[in-house]
């Protein structure tokens, strides 16, 4: 069992285990109880009610946060020709094809998002063992397989985030930094939650989202009452 610091333990003692907080209450609690010296990332964690073993119940897409993530998103692009030049113009960290494939095969992983053109995917798929476990494999559903590399790079750097359900039926998505205002974080939270609701698979039956929790990087989780927190 992981050991936590004094700040975490002190904050955890004040979190009610019986209460479900409104998103504003949860955010304000986290802001009032910092557990790290750095500007922590705020995460929404969802326990899903769909079967992660069934491909037709996969939950995966992207959403643009109205107030961004507060993070310098590092985007690499597998492309050639005009698509490569467009990606460079929009500030992609690395752009290339054969050379970039070899660099990633060699163990370089200092990036957050991978974009590829459809033509490049034949070779990029060979990086499945490297990119797949980290959730970095480009996918048309998330807008990371596209000929419009300029738009993809621009949107991801501006605050577009990807969400996907893991093998245990959980989804975790960053929605800003602790230093953001409560109002900005609450709006980002609602944007993410509503996007996940909209991504519900047609084959999903019963309860879609079982539980919602928010937390900072080093802090305890707080259960959120989404019925109260998310506008209809």
Using CB atoms within 10 Å of the CB of residue 62, give its burial: 0 to 12 exposed, 13 to 18 middle, 19+ buried: buried
Q: Do residues 180 and 149 share a domain?
A: no
Listed residues 129, 155, 181: the one ending a domain: 155
Q: Are residues 219 and 167 in the same domain?
A: yes
* Residue 163 to residue 45: CA distance in whole angstroms: 11
149 and 171 share a domain?
no
pLDDT value for 220: 92
Structural domain contains residue 2: no
Say what the pLDDT of residue 71 is. 87
Q: Is 190 within the bounds of a domain?
A: yes
Q: What is the pLDDT of residue 145?
A: 97
Tokens read off for 42? 């705020």
**If we measure between CA atoms, which residue out of 94, 61, 49 comes closest to residue 205?**
49
Greatest Cα-to-Cα distance within the chain, rounded to the nearest angstrom: 57
Q: Which domain holds residue 57?
A: 18-68+161-229
The residues facing 170 across adjacent strands are: 47
* Residue pLDDT, tens place only, 24-58: 999 999 999 999 999 999 999 999 999 999 989 99
The helix (H) or strand (E) run that includes residue 145 is: none
The answer to whether position 142 is within a domain reads yes
Total-model pTM: 0.79
Identify the domain boundary among 155, 182, 205.
155
110 occurs within a structural domain: yes
Q: How confident is the model at residue 11 (pLDDT cuts 50, 70, 90)?
A: confident
Could you give the number of structural domains in the chain?
A: 2
Is 62 a domain residue? yes
Over residues 82-91, the pLDDT tens digits come to 999 999 999 9
pLDDT of residue 176: 95
Reply yes or no on whether the pLDDT at 1 is more than 50: no
* Residue 218 lies inside a defined structural domain of this protein: yes
Q: Does 10 map to a domain?
A: no
Please say whether the beta carbons of 172 and 41 come within 8 A.
no
CA distances from residue 200 to 49, 63, 71, 140, 167 in whole angstroms, order as listed = 10, 14, 28, 17, 16
For residue 130, pLDDT beyond 80 = yes
């Amino acid at each position: 069992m992981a050991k936590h610091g004094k700040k975490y333990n002190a904050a955890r003692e004040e979190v009610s285990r019986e209460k479900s907080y409104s998103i504003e209450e949860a955010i304000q609690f986290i802001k009032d109880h910092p557990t790290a010296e750095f500007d922590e990332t705020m995460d929404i964690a969802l326990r899903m009610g769909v079967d992660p073993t069934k491909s037709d119940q996969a939950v995966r897409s992207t959403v643009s946060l109205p107030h961004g993530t507060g993070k310098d998103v590092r985007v690499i692009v597998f492309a050639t020709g005009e698509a490569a030049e467009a990606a460079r113009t929009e500030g992609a960290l690395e752009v290339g094809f054969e050379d970039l494939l070899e660099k990633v095969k060699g163990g370089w992983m200092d990036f957050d998002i991978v974009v590829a053109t459809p033509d490049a995917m034949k070779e990029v798929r060979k990086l499945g063992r490297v990119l797949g476990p980290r959730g970095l494999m480009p996918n048309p559903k998330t807008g990371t397989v596209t000929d419009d590399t300029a738009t993809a790079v621009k949107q991801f750097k501006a605050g577009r985030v990807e969400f996907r359900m893991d093998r245990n039926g959980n989804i975790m998505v960053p929605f800003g930094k602790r230093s953001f205002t409560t109002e900005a974080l609450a709006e980002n939270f609602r944007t993410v939650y509503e996007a996940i609701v909209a991504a519900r698979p047609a084959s999903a039956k019963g309860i879609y989202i079982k539980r919602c929790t928010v937390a900072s990087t080093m802090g305890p989780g707080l259960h959120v009452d989404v019925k109260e927190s998310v506008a209809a």
